[in-house]
Structure formats: C-alpha cells, structure tokens
Amino acid sequence: MTTPGAPDLSTHLGGIQLRNPVLTASGTFGYGTEFAPFMDLRRIGGFVAKSLTLEPRHGNPPPRIVETPAGMLNAISLENVGVNAFVEEKLPEIPEGVPVIASVFGTEIELYAEVCKRLMGAPKVVGIEVNASCPHVQSGGIEFGQNPAVLARLVRTVRRAISLPLLVKLSPNVTDIAEMARVCEGEGADGISAINTLQALVVDVETRRPSLSNGLGGLSGPAIRPVALRMVWQCARAVEIPVCGIGGICSAEDAIQFLLCGAAAVQIGTANFLNPMAAAEVVEGIEGYCTRHGVERVSDLVGAVDFPGR
Amino acid sequence: MAKPLRVDSEVISNAAEGGVSRRLVLRIEQGWPEAQPGQFLMLSPGARGRVERYDPLLPRPMAIFRTRRMGGEAAVEVLYKVVGRGTALLADARPGERVRLVGPLGRGFPEVSPGERVILVGGGTGVASLFDLARRSSKRARVVVLLGARTAADLMGRADFEGLDVDLQVATDDGSEGATGFVTELLEREIARGDTARVYACGPTPMMRRAAEITGTAGLPCLVSLENRMACGFGVCLGCAVPRADQGYHLVCQEGPVFESGDLSWEGLP
C-alpha cells in the first residue's frame, strides 16, 4: 500500500517480490525475532536468516570476534540450530508478512541440496541464498566460492533440488568476482548476493597469537564498504540476473550507492549489531532520498551511476 | 522480561571518583523499563552528537550500577574504568552530550529470598554488577559484601556499598586497603563461619573460578556474572559464546550474563 505521491520502493530480486529493497544479511539478524523489541519487522523488505546446516552446529570456541578500525572480524563458524529446528521452531515465531530468505551451508554439495529440499514448502520462505563463501570453516565454504568449477557444480546441484528463487552469495576472496557471478548465472541462479566477509587477520602483540581462536576471521563493517561497492558494480555489469549488494552498509546514503552501482536490493549486516533499528532507518532514508530527488520508483536508481568513460 | 530500548541518552555527569573509577550518569527521558539487578547496557562511545562515527565500531557492554526514577525519567548509572579506546572516548563525554545505548539486556540475578544469607563477591570492575543486587537484597536478607581489587586505587564503588545495610569487607592484593590478599580468601573465611549462604560473584575470570571452586567444595550454590566481548548484546552476533559444562556454548548476552557456576566449563572461559 503506497500513499499517493510517495515513491514506489518495491523491487524484484530474482523472482522474489519485495516491498522495499532493504534486507538484512545472514548471520547478523538471528532468526528475526531478536529484533522484534526494536522494530516492526514488516518495515523492512525481508531478512536472510542465519545459515542453516543439516545438523545443528556449536561453532568455534571463544574469542570469536575482535574489533578493527571501522569494522570487526568474526569466526563464529556457522553456529546454527539446524534446518529441522529452523522449520519447526523458528519459522512459526516470525510474524506473518515478513519474507524470509533461508541461507544454506554444507560441507559437501549434496548436503547443501538436502538442506534446500527440507526448506521447500516451508511457510514464509520466499527464497534460498546459498552461502558459497564463508571464509572461516576449514572443511568447506571457501572452496565452493573460490573455484569456478566447484561453484558451478554447487549451483547446478542446488538448482536441480529446488524450485524456489535461488540466490548465490559470493566470496570476495577471489581474483575476479565477475567471473564467479557469470558462473552462477550460467548454472541457473536467479540472483547474486555480494559480498561476504573478507578473509582477515588480527594478531595480539602481547601474546603473539591471533586474536581469534580460529586464527583467521571474516572482516565486515564500514571498513569493507568501498571494496564491496566495487565488486557489486563489477558483478552487476557482468550478469543480467539481479545483484543484492552487501558490505558495510550503515545508512541510506550507503545503500543508495549500491543501488546506483547496479544492486537491485541491499542487505544490512554488521550495522544491525550496533543499531538494531538500522535496517528500518535505511528504508526511511531511501524513501526520503527518493522524495527529495523526485525519484518515483526506487528501481529507477538501480544502475543509474554516471560513470565517466563507461 | 522487560523489552529493551534503543535510545540516545543525555549525559548528566561523567566524572572521575578517585583512583581508576569513573561514574557516568545518563538521563533517559521516557520508557526506561525496570531493570533487574545484574542486567547490562550496550553503550556506543563513538556515536555522540549529530555526527555518526564508526571507529570504534562496536558498543561496549556495561553493567547497570543503579537506576533512579524521576517521574517518567530514569537516571541510569554506570561505573567504569578506562581500559581501552572505547572507554577512553566514553570518558570524554561531557554533560549535555548524547550517548547511544541499548538496554536493559540479559538475564540478571534471581531475587534473594527473605531472611536468606547471601555473600556478594566483587573484583575490579565486577563490583558494578553487584551494587543493585546488594541494595535491593539488604532490605530483606542478610547480605555480606566482599570487595576486592589490586590496590586501593583500583577499588570501585566502596562508598556506595558503605551506604547500605550490609556487612562490608575489603581486600586488596597489596594490602593498601582492607585485608591483604585475594577477595576469595575473605570468601573462604565467611563460608567457614558455617552459616549456609548463596554466593554471587562478578569479577575477573580467575576470581570467579576460585569462588566456584570454594563454593563447590562447601556445597553452596554460586551464581557468577560474566563479562565478555560482544558486538550486539541481544543474541545475534554470537560473539560472546562461552563453553557450557556439558557441550556447546552459552551466549553471555542472552542466557547470561548470570550463570550457575556449575553450568560453565571454566577451563574454556576467555
């Protein structure tokens, strides 16, 4: 329902109809209900739930996070309740009218497909995001997103397993992210999510050991935003399917940069930690920007960057 | 449990109190729910005034020392010491400036039963988690408060506890105030008096671990309040996990910060 004169914020993301282009990123929004005290979840476009595996996972021992300049490193190792508990216990708690994109992770391609199958027909689940890029699980993740042949096999297998809209979340830890986007498009993905965290390291000079128990971690937050924006711009130029922009977005201005560089929608990640109302504020800010600039449809902003010489 | 708020609070005062201790008093205009003793706040030291700052990025978990009501308003007190960049920036906040916060968060201490004997053991900044519990419990129970620090200058909140109807004892590592030695030695002495008691502890991990050992040997219940790094404070970043006694992890922010000492695997605590 839009007010006359109000900008149309609705957007499409690979067959997923969204009331506005602001989603929240997997691993930063729990299973949604944690944010209910702070905002009406129906104000945002939807959310991507914490990555699910077939069996529950406990995750890494502490320390799991460390702060960095305008960012943070994490090595949680995909702690989650498992797909069955998600469907049986978590989904019913999410209010009606809140689109859920389920994020899926597995240590083997067949496990991804099995998790996806269990999500078919689950209420509120409007799409699947395959996490092909988690940089802190030694047994998997990184290989899928870093090797075009492996990534192709993964997307092909999941594509065959499900009829739901399929997004693939890419790893930024590659030489040419556009090539990875093209691989996903070629194997039938409906959209690209980019980027996941950048593989990174912090060392404690007192102990001369890495600050995280896992050693390496994934860098997120405003520190990665310009890198993410460049990669989203490259992906959007490389493929016809829509791109969902992710990486350090904290404000409407940040989000609009991604839209202008070709993202059909965005995901708010680390900002949810420091401001549990961040995603709702970004929606409001985009609406205000559209009104101020006479933009009737937010989709008119997508790819509208005026790039010199291109 | 009351729903947490996210608000821009106004700094009423933010002053050093002698030694390392600083007291921040924040005014929250409306809607502040009743906080349980032992609950905490996430304070954003980098986001004051009208300019958003993202370095340092993360809010800092801080115990709620005390809350005073003034009509619909609440004045929330935090006792802290400068330990790093976040708390150094927090120390710069002047009266009238705004500090963003989320809270109250976590599960606090269970209520003390009428007539019960309780021993509160606080070390370093950990004493801040115990004051409101001591204040409320002192009206209905027999409360022993044991405060410890490395030196007299590191001792926090002593004057506040002196204003309560509690049996207050102090220990410092160097003997510059109170008994010489660890506060857990005072705990052993109190328990040796023979009266059964429930023990509440908050402080450095080695102190709480020792309190857990002492109470374990004596067969007394012991509740500990953990301090930990966390990014969000409300159960989504999963950064504050601590190992359970059986398997897997507890989230300090959501399942704690208060735990039964026996529910934790002390070897694995950060």
Mean pLDDT, rounded, of chain A: 93
What are the tokens at B209?
């671990």
Do the beta carbons of residue A105 and residue A82 sit within 8 Å?
no
Residue A42 CB neighbour total at 10 angstroms: 14
Residue A138 has pLDDT above 60, yes or no: no
* Closest C-alpha among B55, B78, B265, B261 to residue B160: B78
From CA A224, how far away is CA B225, in angstroms rounded? 35
Query: Confidence band (pLDDT; 50, 70, 90) for A139?
Result: very low
Contact A276 B102 (CB under 8 A): yes
| Residues B48 and B83 occupy one common structural domain | yes
Contact B236 A29 (CB under 8 A): yes
What type of residue is A36? Answer: A
Q: Is residue B252 part of a domain?
A: no
Do the beta carbons of residue A94 and residue A40 sit within 8 Å?
no
| Residues B122 and B86 occupy one common structural domain | no
Active site residues of A: 134
Residue A29 has pLDDT above 90, yes or no: yes
Residue A1 has pLDDT above 90, yes or no: no
| Residues B96 and B170 occupy one common structural domain | no
- Per cent of chain A over pLDDT 70 is 95
Q: Is residue B111 part of a domain?
A: no
From CA A223, how far away is CA A107, in angstroms rounded? 29
State the CATH number of the domain containing residue B221: 3.40.50.80
| Residues B62 and B157 occupy one common structural domain | no
Which of A175-189, A198-212, B5-19 bottoms out in mean pLDDT, i.e. has the lowest?
B5-19
Q: Is residue B133 part of a domain?
A: yes
| Residues B20 and B90 occupy one common structural domain | yes
More confident residue, A2 or A292: A292
What are the tokens at B213?
């050992």
Between helix A109-119 and helix A148-161 the angle, nearest 10°, is 30
Contact B238 A250 (CB under 8 A): no
What are the tokens at B122?
């606080």
From CA B244, how far away is CA B264, in angstroms rounded? 5
| Residues B83 and B137 occupy one common structural domain | no
What type of residue is A310? Answer: R
Domain that holds residue B138: 117-225
Q: Is residue B218 part of a domain?
A: yes
Q: Is residue B233 part of a domain?
A: no
Q: Is residue B234 part of a domain?
A: no
| Residues B127 and B76 occupy one common structural domain | no
Give the position of tokens 């109470």: B215
From CA B195, how far away is CA A79, in angstroms rounded? 43
| Residues B141 and B47 occupy one common structural domain | no
Cβ partners under 8 Å of residue A2, min gap 6: A8, A9
- How high is the pLDDT of residue A5? 77
Residue B177 vs residues A66, B139, B180, B185, B186: alpha-carbon distances, Å: 36, 27, 8, 15, 14
* Closest C-alpha among B215, B178, B179, B189 to residue B200: B215
| Residues B92 and B127 occupy one common structural domain | no
Q: Which residue of B has its CA nearest to A65?
A: B239
Q: Is residue B199 part of a domain?
A: yes
Expressed in angstroms, the distance from the first to the final Cα of chain A is: 38
In tens digits, chain B (270 residues) has pLDDT values of 678 999 999 999 999 987 889 999 999 999 999 899 999 999 998 656 567 789 999 999 999 999 999 888 999 999 999 999 899 999 999 999 999 999 999 999 998 999 899 999 999 999 999 999 999 999 999 999 999 999 999 999 999 999 999 999 999 999 999 999 999 999 999 999 877 789 999 999 999 999 999 999 999 999 999 999 999 999 999 999 999 999 899 999 999 999 999 999 998 887
From CA B61, how far away is CA A177, in angstroms rounded? 37
Residue B179 vs residues A32, B21, B81, B170: alpha-carbon distances, Å: 50, 20, 23, 6
| Residues B65 and B154 occupy one common structural domain | no
Chain A residues contacting B, CB < 8 Å? Answer: 27-30, 34-35, 37-38, 58-59, 61-72, 74, 76, 79, 221-222, 250-251, 270, 272-277
- How high is the pLDDT of residue A134? 53
Cβ partners under 8 Å of residue B106, min gap 6: B38, B39, B40, B233, B252, B253, B254, B256, B257, B258
- How high is the pLDDT of residue B197? 86
In total, how many domains does chain B have? 2
Do the beta carbons of residue B252 and residue B268 sit within 8 Å?
no
Which of these three, B56, B72, B104, is where a domain ends?
A: B104
| Residues B145 and B85 occupy one common structural domain | no
What are the tokens at A77?
């190792």
- How high is the pLDDT of residue A4? 63
Cβ partners under 8 Å of residue A230, min gap 6: none
What are the tokens at B177?
């105030």
Taken in order of first residue, the domains within chain A and their CATH numbers are: 11-59+76-198+221-301 (3.20.20.70)
| Residues B99 and B124 occupy one common structural domain | no
* Closest C-alpha among A51, A189, A190, A58 to residue A111: A51
Could you give the 3-state DSSP secondary structure of residue B66? strand
What are the tokens at B212?
């857990």
Cβ partners under 8 Å of residue B13, min gap 6: B23, B24, B25, B95
Query: Looking at the partner chain, which of A38, A58, A62 has a beta carbon nearest the beta carbon of B270?
Result: A62
At A252-278, the pLDDT tens digits run: 999 999 999 999 999 999 999 999 999
State the CATH number of the domain containing residue B97: 2.40.30.10
- How high is the pLDDT of residue A255? 98
Q: Is residue B31 part of a domain?
A: yes
Which of A167-171, A177-181, B154-158 bottoms out in mean pLDDT, i.e. has the lowest?
B154-158
- How high is the pLDDT of residue A267? 98
Query: Looking at the partner chain, which of B100, B230, B268 has a beta carbon nearest the beta carbon of A61?
Result: B268
Residue A136 has pLDDT above 50, yes or no: no
Which of these three, B80, B104, B128, is where a domain ends?
A: B104
- How high is the pLDDT of residue A270? 98
* Closest C-alpha among B79, B72, B8, B74 to residue B35: B74
CA distance B238 to chain A (A): 7
ipTM: 0.93
* Closest C-alpha among A269, A206, A265, A277 to residue A76: A269
Chain B residues contacting A, CB < 8 Å? Answer: 3-4, 6, 44, 47, 52, 54-59, 100, 102, 228-232, 234-243, 247-249, 268-270
Cα A116 → chain centroid: 17
* Closest C-alpha among B78, B154, B143, B122 to residue B224: B122
User: Which whole number is the average pLDDT over A290-294?
Assistant: 96
Contact B247 A222 (CB under 8 A): no
At B241-262, the pLDDT tens digits run: 999 999 899 999 999 999 999 9
Chain A residues touching residue B236 (CB < 8 angstroms): 28-30, 34-35, 272-273
